[in-house]
């Protein structure tokens, strides 16, 4: 086990930021922490890293208690913070070298690691650039390089793709998967469910400092009673036809607005086919139709009654 958190409680005055939370992160996984802004993800991470005081609980990393002076543990951890943490007066190369040098004493080895990190994040053409000259995406890549250059066994990334363009975002996500394949255990926090779904092998959804659900994305989706959501576009329906649709097997929710029909089906067979058959029998024309499997947002919605992005 790489990380073990037991019954953690962190309060800011009257506000409980982390509420009796326990988790375990196994070696080799990409563990996703998903939750809306203010859900306590960063607070949890800062407690795990021994940056923040907490009121109650136990935290261990690599089987040892995590403390601020646990340098042997810290040596194997790489952290990429939500806010870019680089020195504006140092070039790309110097920044990575500086932070890598806090972990690796040997100059020759450090040089090799810095070169590898630059190569890894694709900043070869920008090595002599100062951070202010880099675009937002390149700056995020530098931020990542500074956190991973020393080849840590555990990498914690806290919202690394905030305010990043889609191309850089893909680049970052691919990089995280590559790091994992190279042997690093990853803890990835985000409020972007698509990212978490895309790369994480196990996901914990939290809200208001409490665990909502934990599992693989398939396990999480299986926890809710939604099989699929079918959307039909440019469709003309009368009240009788809508009533007929509502009586379809497994149809739990029917919405009709601006000539768009959305039917939420509980788990069951042939939901889409049943709807299509009905529309054909009623001689209803439509412009488009697609079926969507439940998302993590649906999981969050079902457990908390609100959208992830609320």
Partner 1 sequence: MFTHVFKYRLKCLLRDKVVLFWTILFPIVLSTLFFTAFSNLNNAVSFTSAKVAVVDNEAYRNNKPFQEALVSVSEKRDEQEPLLSVELVSSDEAETLLEQGKVHGIILLDPDIKLVVKQSGMHQSIIKSFLDQYRQISASYGTVILRNFDIPANGDTLTRFPADDYLTELPLGKNKTDNTVTYYYALLAMASLYGAFWGLRVIGEVQADQSANGARINLAPVHKMKTLLAGILAAWIIQFVELSLLLLYMILVLKVPFGNQAGYILLTCLVGALAGLTLGTLVSGLVKRNLGLKIGVLIGLSMLMSGLAGLYFAPFKYIVIKAVPMLAYINPANLITDALYALYYYDTYHRFALNIALLLAFSAVFLLLTYLTVRRDRYASIPSIQEDN
Binding site for partner 1 (CB under 8 A): 12, 35, 37-43, 46, 49-53, 67-69, 71-72, 74-75, 77, 79, 81-87, 89-90, 94, 98-99, 101-103, 105, 146-147, 158-159, 189, 191
CB 201 to partner 1: min, Å = 22
CB 8 to partner 1: min, Å = 14
CB 173 to partner 1: min, Å = 19
* Phi and psi, residue 58, nearest 5°: -130, 140
Q: Residues 246, 254: contact at Cβ < 8 Å?
A: yes
| Spatial CA neighbour of 176 closest among 126, 97, 121 | 121
How far from the centroid of its chain's Cα atoms is residue 99's Cα? 25
Nearer to partner 1, 69 or 285 (CB): 69
Nearer to partner 1, 103 or 126 (CB): 103
Residues 255, 89: Cα–Cα separation, whole Å: 56
Number of residues that this document lists for the chain: 310
CB 67 to partner 1: min, Å = 8
Nearer to partner 1, 59 or 263 (CB): 59
CB 163 to partner 1: min, Å = 11
CB 53 to partner 1: min, Å = 4
Stretch (H or E) spanning 240: helix 239-246
| Spatial CA neighbour of 264 closest among 244, 242, 288, 292 | 292
CB 106 to partner 1: min, Å = 11
Residue 240 burial (CB < 10 Å; 0-12/13-18/19+)?
Answer: exposed
Nearer to partner 1, 246 or 306 (CB): 306
Nearer to partner 1, 10 or 221 (CB): 10
Residue written as tokens 């079902």?
302
Nearer to partner 1, 208 or 267 (CB): 208
Could you give the C-alpha distances from 151 to 75, 82, 135, 145, 158, in angstroms and in order?
9, 20, 25, 10, 18
Residue written as tokens 């500086």?
98
Nearer to partner 1, 151 or 221 (CB): 151
From edge to edge, which strands make up the β-sheet containing 288-292?
A: 251-257, 260-265, 228-233, 288-292
């Amino acid at each position: 086990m790489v990380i073990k958190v037991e019954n953690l409680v962190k309060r800011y005055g009257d506000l409980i930021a982390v509420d009796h939370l326990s988790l375990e992160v196994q070696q080799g996984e990409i563990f996703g922490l998903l939750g809306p802004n203010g859900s306590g993800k960063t607070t949890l991470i800062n407690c795990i890293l021994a940056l923040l005081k907490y009121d109650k609980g136990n935290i261990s990393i690599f089987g040892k208690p995590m403390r601020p002076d646990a340098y042997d543990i810290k040596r194997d951890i790489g952290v990429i913070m939500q806010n870019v943490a680089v020195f504006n007066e140092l070039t790309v190369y110097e920044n990575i070298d500086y932070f890598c040098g806090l972990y690796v004493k040997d100059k020759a080895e450090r040089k090799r690691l810095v070169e590898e990190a630059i190569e890894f994040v694709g900043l070869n053409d920008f090595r002599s650039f100062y951070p202010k000259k880099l675009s937002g995406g390149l700056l995020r890549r530098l931020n990542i390089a500074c956190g991973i250059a020393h080849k840590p066994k555990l990498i914690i990334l806290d919202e690394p793709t905030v305010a990043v363009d889609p191309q850089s975002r893909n680049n970052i996500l691919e990089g995280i998967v590559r790091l994992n394949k190279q042997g690093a255990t990853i803890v990835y926090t985000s409020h972007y469910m698509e990212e978490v779904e895309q790369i994480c092998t196990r996901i914990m959804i939290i809200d208001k400092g409490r665990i909502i659900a934990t599992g693989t994305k398939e396990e999480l989706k299986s926890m809710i009673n939604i099989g699929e959501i079918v959307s039909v576009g440019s469709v003309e329906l009368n009240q009788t036809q809508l009533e007929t649709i509502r009586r379809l097997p497994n149809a739990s929710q029917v919405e009709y607005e601006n000539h768009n029909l959305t039917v939420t089906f509980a788990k069951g067979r042939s939901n889409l086919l049943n709807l299509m058959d009905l529309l054909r029998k009623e001689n209803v024309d439509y412009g488009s139709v697609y079926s969507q499997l439940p998302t993590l947002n649906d999981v969050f919605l079902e457990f908390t009654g609100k959208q992830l992005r609320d």
